[in-house]
Amino acid sequence: MADRSEGGVAISHINTLALTMVGLAICGCGHFGDSAGSFADSQAHVIAATRHAATMAYETCRISATYVYLGQRLGIEPTRLPKLAASWPSFYEHEQTKDFAGQTVTWREYCEGLDKTGGAFDAALLVMRAYGDAIVALARAKAFDASNLQTAATGASGLATALGATSSLASSISGAGPVLSQLASLVAGFVRSGKLKSSVHSAGPAIEALLRNMIAYVDGLDAEVSLAAHRLHNVVAATESPQIGPGGPVIDVAVVARDDDARLNALHLAVAQDKEALDGLRRAHAALAAAAKQPDLDKDAQIAVEKLAKALQELQATREWRE
């Protein structure tokens, strides 16, 4: 694959953001309501930029399956069927693989299962966004309907918990199910109390746990992308001519592999950025929760928080090439 180091400078913005929030926690400075509101505004940008990850698992699975199919045509991948599938649709519908729990499933079933994990991941992101909306409501004296969050969290929790352990992705995001329900209850409580500082501090452990589950999910995505790339490279190395013909439809491997290689390269870079963004949010919120225990302090800290918000907005701008 092509070099994947591009975007590293943009990623450093999220690290700057986290360090800024850590500085706030240590010195306890700035007006907390302004700091929390800036954090929530910035978080919304990152969540919007990260939602694309919900479709990555299915797309990567389809690419991976393609190169298992082509590998079978070349004789470098085994088949679980009595004979090789005559076509890609036949392969995808009937050829079998093993899921994370060791159960035998068709490739269609396996990829559809991964697609469901993306839905659960997206639902968890939306709950995080609702949490940010609640912070803004408390920080800026705005109205907030906690019942919407409760509905979203209940749905997200159900999606996540129902996945079980059919894949590494399902295993990581299913662990977020109980946390999502807990977070909804916490937010409903602190909206009623109207106490921003104590509320953000009390939500700290739940947000930490949720973001760690989401980071584990993104790590799982990267593993799926790497596996697909490995299968692609094996097929390319085993192909003596540009095309595969006998035993099925003629396929121009060189053209297909070039396009898929470029796409996997882009997915790998996107996953790296998503992980940095989510980990930056995790560290930033941890610092914000710690700062909630400190008294409001001086103007210099508020300037730091404004820089924090700008860093997250710049991170969003670097991702527009993918949209």
| pLDDT tens-place string over residues 281-298 | 888 888 888 877 776 554
CA–CA separation, 253 and 245 (whole Å): 10
Identify which has the larger pLDDT, 75 or 228.
228
pLDDT of residue 249: 63
CA–CA separation, 267 and 69 (whole Å): 21
Q: Which residues contact 323 (CB under 8 A, 6 or more apart)?
A: 52
CA–CA separation, 290 and 245 (whole Å): 63
Nearest to 131 by CA among 29, 245, 281: 281
Say yes or no to pLDDT of 138 above 80: yes
Domain residue spans of the chain: 54-274
CA–CA separation, 320 and 308 (whole Å): 20
Say yes or no to pLDDT of 224 above 80: yes
- 15-49 per-position pLDDT tens digit: 555 555 555 544 444 477 877 888 888 788 888 88
Query: What is the 3-state secondary structure of 129-194?
Result: HHHHHHHHHHHCCCCCCHHHHHHHHHHHHHHHHHCCCCCHHHHHHHCCHHHHHHHHHHHHHHHHHC
Identify which has the larger pLDDT, 48 or 318.
48
CA–CA separation, 229 and 52 (whole Å): 20
- 60-114 per-position pLDDT tens digit: 999 999 999 988 888 888 887 777 777 889 999 999 887 766 788 899 999 998 8
Q: Which of 45-54, 140-149, 157-166, 310-319 has the lowest mean pLDDT?
A: 310-319
pLDDT of residue 304: 53
